Structure 1
């Protein structure tokens, strides 16, 4: 009886660790992992286990901006059952990274983009132990080529962050509840009077949408959007297309 009471208040609770086959991924890529549960000092019944793909988002409010954690995607593992004191269970797990997962591996002067996988046990009447695994998320070919085009056109990436909200354009919209903004500035005096360009990418399975915010001197901000088909990624053509948009 005393051991059951200890378990109910979270003393001697089971611990969980998710071991990824690789932490280096691209948005939309499948990943594999093993969830390792180590029993505590007493036997416990585990009703389920949650894995969440997380990021840090900036929220704009009347009292000022602040940052908070945001769930991009979530998975539920059930039928785990009872784990004895000191017992170890390993559960294989496979999922796909959300296509709108922010990119973390970018060469920005100020990079506030972070992504991690968080794991928690749902033990009835117990405190939830958690495990956090940071991910290295790389751009897909379309996004990488777009960033190369910006470099070739004389723009440097100065800041990257993730904001809470949804993107909407005439031909697409985002779904994850957050979006990444890449802020570019001209590395030299811009011929087109451009002061700043902000990019947000919304990848899908076979194409990537781009929302472009253009800040020109003495003019209000303007928005344009384009779509890159993944089987038609061409750096030279993209540079030509962007030059026309920026002129």
Structure 2
């Protein structure tokens, strides 16, 4: 009885460790790995193994700006089971990234984009053991080419973060409740221009919304939205980037 009481407080309880087959994936790919569970000092009922794909989002109000963890995908790995003292179990899993998972592998001055898998053992009347594993999310080639083309036009990638809310373009909208913004800035003072781009995967398409802010312009922020096939040609990519740059 005393052992079960200690386990409920997390002392001598089961432990969890998730091992990913790869810590680096492209947008839209599937994470694979194994959840390793080690029994504690007493028998325990595991009601579920819950995996959550998480990021950190910026929440703005009139008074302040704060950051909070945000779940963009969930997976329940197994049905309830009992793990005996010191017993070990391995549970393999596959977890496809949400299409709106932020890109983290960016050559940017201030990168506030983080993605991780959080694993929790669901145990009644006990502190749930947890494990957190960070993941590098790389841009698809078509996205990388868009970012490179903007950079080659004289813009520096200065900041990337994830905003809470929804993104709406001409013929698409986000669904997850958050969206990434990647900010570029030109070096000029009089002709200073800022460009923020956001991407959404949709099957074989990549949607993009670009917001352009030109200092000292009377027109205010301007928006350009477009969609590219994942295998878009270089000429198609340069055509849509030129639309952004022409504002």
TM-score by length of 2: 0.93
Distance 1:148 1:209 in 2: 17
* Structure 1 pair 64–189 and aligned structure 2 pair: CA distance change class (3 A): closer
- 1:197 maps onto 2:195 in alignment: yes
Counterpart Cα distance in 2 of 1:147 and 1:17: 36
Distance apart, 1:233 and its partner CA: 3.4
How far apart are residue 194 of structure 1 and its match?
5.2
CA RMSD of aligned residues (A): 1.6
SS, match of residue 176 in structure 2? coil
Distance in 1 between residues matched to 2:144 and 2:241, nearest whole Å: 15
Query: What are the equivalent positions in structure 2 for 1:1-247 lying under 5 Å apart?
Result: 1-188=1-188, 193=191, 195-217=193-215, 218-219=217-218, 220-234=220-234, 236-247=235-246
Gapped regions of structure 1 (runs ≥ 5): none
Task: Give 1:76 shift.
Answer: 1.2
CA 1:173–1:244: 2 relative to 1, 3 Å: closer
Note the C-alpha offset of 1:80. 4.1
Question: Any gaps of 5 or more consecutive residues in structure 2?
Answer: none
Rounded Cα–Cα distance in structure 2 between residues aligned with 1:230 and 1:105: 18
Q: For the Cα contact (< 8 Å) 2:224–2:243, is it kept in 1?
A: no
Offset at residue 189 of structure 1 (A) = 6.7
CA deviation string 1:161-209 (max 9, x = no partner): 111111012310111111111110114578xx45201001111220110
Runs of 4+ in 1 over 6 A off after TM superposition: none
Contact preservation (8 Å) 2:146, 2:241: no
Aligned length: 244
CA 1:176/1:56 → structure 2, altered by over 3 Å: closer, same or farther? same
- Please give the secondary structure, in 2, of the residue aligned with 1:231: coil
180-189 or 204-213, which deviates more: 180-189
Cα offset, 1:30, TM superposition:
1.4
**2:113 match: secondary structure:** coil
Q: Judge which range, 127-136 or 179-188, deviates more.
A: 179-188
Report the more deviating stretch, 6-15 or 140-149.
6-15
